[in-house]
Structure 1
Amino acid sequence: MKLYIITGGPGAGKTTLINTLQKRGFKTVPEDARDIIREQMVTDGDGLPWKNKILYAQMMAEASIHSYLNVMSEPSENTIFFDRGLPDTICYMKMEKLPISKDLIQLADIIAYHRKVFILPPWKEIYINDAERKQNWEEAVETYEQMRLTYAELGYELIVVPKDSTEKRCQFISDLI
């Protein structure tokens, strides 16, 4: 299966790109972190990055693994794009100086996404905060840099998606797959 990750710091256009790829007929897997944040906000839960970082990271890891296993349970010849992957959770944990278990690192080695990962660079002109995205611009840039390091450490080849219209970004990715 061709399972590609689209990643990057917050506010770089990942979700818009994923939604456009879906409209073009590709199967996509939405970002788990936003769903967790929305659910925790509605239920006044503790699994929020500004309340309980450890619980939030555990929930993100579990959700990423669950999303991956769901996709794998329905084998397909189609190309599938993930809005973030398990390595994003590991990056978050590293940035927040949270303990990362050997089991989680082993799972990151076992879970077989495509080795080419599309990463969107910080783009100040489109960056905005919202109810779930509370990072400032500097934090968004630092997240991007840490994503680059984490994915490289885990053996992925990063392909930087140029800052351009969503259609041209989709075409860039389509041309490379």
Structure 2
Amino acid sequence: MQNKKIVITGGPGTGKSSIINYLESQGHYCLHEVSRQITIEAQKQGIEQLFLEQPLLFSEKLLEARINQHHEAVQLSKERIFLDRGIPDVVAYMDYFGTNYPDEFTLACNYHKYDKIFLLPPWKEIYTSDNERYESFDQALEIHEHLKKSYLTYGYEPIEVPTGSISSRSSFIMNSLDG
């Protein structure tokens, strides 16, 4: 059985992780965001913001982790696997920051495919920053546009998820998959 790999993406503070956690609580299989883990590991090694201090190294670690998640999703015998961000997110952020990157990044985007992409729009009412999320809301708006462009570039048609409660947004996603 070939499973469906479903990406939930969006700029910082759009509710991705909340939706992933909700879907998981409803019995769906979910793979969580890996960038915070990479940031925390770097902080343990004395690098406060790896993404700012060594953006290419951060992105290489992120690309490797997201490729590993894709491989994990392919191997799972679940009908649907939800992923908190996908491989094209890495390229979108690098484009946003103007970071040059080797061809392996675009090759990974072309080779590792997903079945559906749900894009969460910036939502000022729920946006907060913290120790791992340093972007302003205006920057989140720009990142959203880079994410949308990245997924379109790699042949996807992202479905924009309307704002609302976590359960209503999750229902929208499930209804879009079942429809």
Q: TM-score w.r.t. structure 1 length?
A: 0.94
The Cα shift of 1:147 comes to 0.5
Q: Quick one: distance in 2 between partners of 1:131 and 1:154?
A: 31
8 Å contact 1:29–1:82 — kept in the other structure?
A: yes
Q: Which residue of 1 aligns with 2:149?
A: 149
The Cα shift of 1:24 comes to 0.7
Q: Quick one: distance in 2 between partners of 1:12 and 1:20?
A: 14
The Cα shift of 1:51 comes to 1.4
The Cα shift of 1:99 comes to 2.0
Equivalent position amino acid for 1:159 in 2: I
Q: Quick one: distance in 1 between partners of 2:127 and 2:62?
A: 23
SS at match of 1:60: helix
Task: Point out where structure 2 has 5 or more consecutive residues left out of the alignment.
Answer: none
Percent identity reads: 34
Q: TM-score w.r.t. structure 2 length?
A: 0.93
> Are 2:100 and 1:99 equivalent residues in the alignment?
yes
Matches within 5 A, 1:25-44: 25-44=27-46
Task: Point out where structure 1 has 5 or more consecutive residues left out of the alignment.
Answer: none
Matches within 5 A, 1:134-145: 134-145=134-145
Q: Which residue of 2 aligns with 1:164?
A: 164
Q: Which residue of 2 aligns with 1:23?
A: 25
The Cα shift of 1:47 comes to 6.8
| More off after superposition, 92-101 vs 82-91 | 92-101
Equivalent position amino acid for 1:19 in 2: N
Q: Quick one: distance in 1 between partners of 2:134 and 2:26?
A: 30
Q: Quick one: distance in 2 between partners of 1:163 and 1:92?
A: 23
The Cα shift of 1:75 comes to 3.3
Q: Quick one: distance in 2 between partners of 1:128 and 1:50?
A: 19
